[in-house]
Chain A
């Protein structure tokens, strides 16, 4: 082995001041690079990003074609729009919990946890990368929906951006709950990470209007940011205006939920540290 390229007092020269902006950016982008490299090296995962959205799109596309022959009005566009937006929610939720679980599966969690990466930086990194994947998957689906069924996402108009924003924030909150559950209850709680988003599905009026729900569930759905997105989507597609007041309410709910789930994550991490759980994953 050759002469050691180690610096006598490396702290100032070799690394950036740890609390400065440049160091924070380095750490956040480190998370993004890590996830990107992992994805690039796992063809199966790339396949998966494309597989489920395509299957769902085909399924609901043919359902709508069938319904069209039955002369059910508007339904065609509703369902395809719903499938697209549902994918935003589901992906946002699952992608960030997968990124966390991958550290457990590869027994890398301790390396991450003893690094100077703060919880916030770690989560910002996960969110940035999941954003990239969601945008990619949705763009791909939108193209496919247009090619196969002549459905253009642009029919959602200016509402598309806030619709997606509300769903992304909700998805990240749900993903955080999944991560917190794993930190608190151990790896078996990963089923929570996968399935929580499906609890939202029947309540949020994705494929049907919220008005079909019984009154108590309708009340619950009022507190789900996603309901307002899917209701709003149907309004816009039926030729109405974007319901900004409902979207503002949904956005406010998102902010509250995100604050609560961040607090939950912080508590679960503290719990895991107090009970020595971080080194027990993967056993």
Chain B
């Protein structure tokens, strides 16, 4: 069953056509990527799927429910993290996770917070304020927040953008395990081609607001006669 079905999405901001006729389907347990150059419309697409931006045209169905009409039910089973959002600075790590456990109506918030702290190895940081953490540490807290409701769909906008190679690698490993063990579907954007190759089952290439190609990394490489995803990216981005 498709967890997410977006059909013919379109969005303009004044004279700029950010997204044009984009359709994306994400299946249960699939890890999908949105790839494309800066300004291609990736974040705009993700924000429409999350209800942050109202599309000009098109429909969004999550878990078989239309997002516009079943916002609360749909969003209860989704979660989100991005390099450009932050969590409340004055709060302690454990308080932040607890607050979001309640926003997502987790039945036993205390236990769930403890599980998330364990999963993301936040034990030593539990009682530190968010504003005092490094960006890699903050990313881990954001992922704890993003996993707190055990989402069926996890939307990640450049999740590893602020991380050093080691921290990025650990986060990738963690996300892959989450996808495998929990069966959660993921929709990810990234400018790190190797990350996408390693993690993603299916890649949607966006350029100037349109999906110009879709398939697995190997399929795309074959189709474009490129050595790897980076080669595909350069060919697609440069027309």
Q: Which residues of A approach B to under 8 Å, CB–CB?
A: 1-2, 4-11, 13-16, 18-19, 22-23, 26-27, 29-30, 33-34, 37-38, 41-42, 102-103, 106-118, 270, 273-276, 278-279
User: In the bound complex, what is the Cα–Cα distance between A110 and B52 (angstroms)?
Assistant: 8
10 contacts between A and B (CB under 8 A): A2-B119, A11-B152, A19-B72, A22-B105, A30-B102, A33-B98, A106-B88, A107-B85, A113-B51, A116-B73
| A111 touching B145, Cβ below 8 Å | yes
CB <8 Å contact, B182 and A41: no
Task: Evaluate contact between B53 and A278: CB separation under 8 angstroms.
Answer: yes
Which residues from chain A contact B51 at a C-beta distance below 8 Å? Answer: 113-114, 273
Smallest beta-carbon distance B173→chain A, Å: 8
B125 neighbours in A (Cβ, 8 Å): none
B225 at interface by CB-CB < 8 Å: no
Instruction: Please measure, in the bound complex, the distance between the C-alpha atom of A15 and the C-alpha atom of B148, giving whole angstroms.
Output: 10
- B residues within 8 Å of A by Cβ? 11, 13, 18, 43-44, 47, 50-54, 71-73, 75-80, 82, 84-92, 95, 98-107, 109, 112, 115, 118-121, 129, 145, 147, 149-150, 152, 170, 174, 177-178, 181-184
Given A6-B119, A6-B178, A37-B88, 5 more pairs with CB closer than 8 A: A6-B181, A113-B52, A114-B79, A276-B44, A276-B52
The residues of B that contact A2 with a CB separation of less than 8 Å are 118-119
Minimum CB–CB distance from A112 to chain B (whole Å) comes to 7
7 interchain residue pairs of minimum CB distance:
A30-B102, A10-B150, A23-B105, A6-B182, A107-B86, A41-B90, A18-B76
Q: How far is the CA of A23 from the CA of B75 in the complex (A)?
A: 13
CA of A27 to CA of B99, assembled, Å: 9
Chain B residue, CB-CB nearest to A115? B103
| B90 CB, min distance to chain A CBs, angstroms | 4
Q: Measured between alpha carbons, how far is A29 from B106 in the docked complex, in Å? A: 13
By a CB distance below 8 angstroms, the chain B residues around A278 are: 47, 52-53
Q: Are B112 and A14 in contact (CB under 8 A)?
A: yes
* B99–A30 touching, CB < 8 Å: yes
Complex Cα spacing A96 to B203, Å: 43
**Most chain-B Cβ atoms within 10 A of its Cβ — which of A13, A109, A110, A113?**
A110
B118 touches A273 (CB 8 A): no
Complex Cα gap A169–B199 (Å): 52
Smallest CB–CB gap between B73 and chain A, Å? 5
Residues of chain B lying within 8 A (CB to CB) of residue A1: 119-121, 170, 174, 177
Give the docked Cα–Cα distance between A118 and B75 (Å): 10
State the CA gap A2–B122 with chains docked (Å): 12
**How near does chain B come to A275, taking the closest CB pair, in angstroms?**
7
| Contact assessment for B107 and A15 in the assembled complex, using a CB-CB cutoff below 8 Å | yes
Q: How far is the CB of A149 from chain B (nearest CB, A)?
A: 36
Instruction: Knowing A16-B105, A30-B102, say if A108 contacts B11 (CB, 8 Å).
Output: no
Assuming the A-B contacts A13-B107, A114-B51, are A41 and B78 also in contact, with contact meaning beta carbons closer than 8 angstroms in the complex?
no
Query: Across the interface, do B178 and A4 meet the contact criterion of CB distance under 8 Å?
Result: yes
Residue on B nearest A110 in the bound complex, by CB: B85
CB-CB under 8 A for A115 and B119, given A11-B152, A18-B73: no
Residues of A within 8 A of B181 (CB): 4, 6
A19 to chain B: which residues have CB within 8 Å? 72-73
Most buried by A among B85, B100, B181: B85
Question: In the complex, what's the smallest C-beta–C-beta distance from B79 to chain A, in angstroms?
Answer: 8
- Nearest CB to that of B14 among chain A residues? A275
Q: Are A7 and B182 in contact (CB under 8 A)?
A: yes
CB distance from A202 to the nearest CB of B (A): 36
Contact A114–B105 (Cβ < 8 Å): no
CB closest residue in chain B, given A34? B99
Q: For A112, what are the chain B residues with a Cβ–Cβ distance below 8 Å?
A: 103
Name the distance in Å between A23's Cβ and chain B's nearest Cβ: 4
Quick one: which of A6, A23, A115 contacts B100, CB cutoff 8 A? A115
Bound-state Cα–Cα, A278 to B47, Å: 10
How far does the alpha carbon of A116 sit from the alpha carbon of B63 in the complex, in Å? 15
CA distance A281 to B119 in the complex (A): 31
Contact status B118-A279, CB under 8 Å: no
The answer to whether B88 touches A38 (Cβ under 8 A) is yes
Q: What A residues does B119 contact at CB under 8 A?
A: 1-2, 4-6
A107 cross-chain contacts in B, Cβ below 8 A = 84-86
- 8 Å CB contact of A41 from B43, B92, B170: B92
CB contacts (< 8 Å) of B44 on chain A: these are 276
Within 8 Å CB of B80, what residues of A? 110-111, 114
- Interface centre among B52, B53, B84, B88, by most chain A C-beta atoms within 10 angstroms, is B88
Closest approach, in angstroms, between the C-beta of A221 and any C-beta of chain B? 40
Which chain A residues border B82 with CB–CB below 8 Å?
A: 110
Q: Is the CB of A111 within 8 A of B105?
A: no
